[in-house]
Structure 1
Amino acid sequence: MSAKSFIQQSLKLNNMEAIESDIPYIQKVLQAIRKAELTAVIPEDLNEEVPIVIVDPELIQYD
């Protein structure tokens, strides 16, 4: 199945009209989304590394 027919069929299944001139734009958007998904680096465990906190002593107020 070509990308063009896939886009047309997907739009039809969602009760949307497939405008012929919009299909190349939709295809570019889908390619950009796919590229972003492939290049996204998500750490396995966000809590594995303890964050470093630097506090300015002037900001600390004593009661």
Structure 2
Amino acid sequence: MASSRQIVNDLRAQAAALDGRHVQGSMMDGACRSMRRGADEIERLLDDLTYLRGFAELVREEDRA
């Protein structure tokens, strides 16, 4: 299974590859915008998760003290 970071990179690479192109007569700008927003949201969630893991570690250390 791909990591979240790999998914973010894949979404950004796909968006860059399709940006400004037509596929079966449709511009892909909307799809590219959605892929970039998805990548941004995954990154935001990863940052939140990192913050929460750090906080949980601090709480555990306080409980041990």
Return the TM-score normalized by structure 2.
0.38
Higher Rg of the two aligned structures: 1
Query: Per chain length, whose mean CA-contact separation is higher, i.e. which structure has more relative contact order (CA < 8 Å, sep 6+)?
Result: 2
Q: Please identify which structure carries the higher strand content.
A: 2
Return the TM-score normalized by structure 1.
0.39
Q: Please identify which structure carries the higher helix content.
A: 2
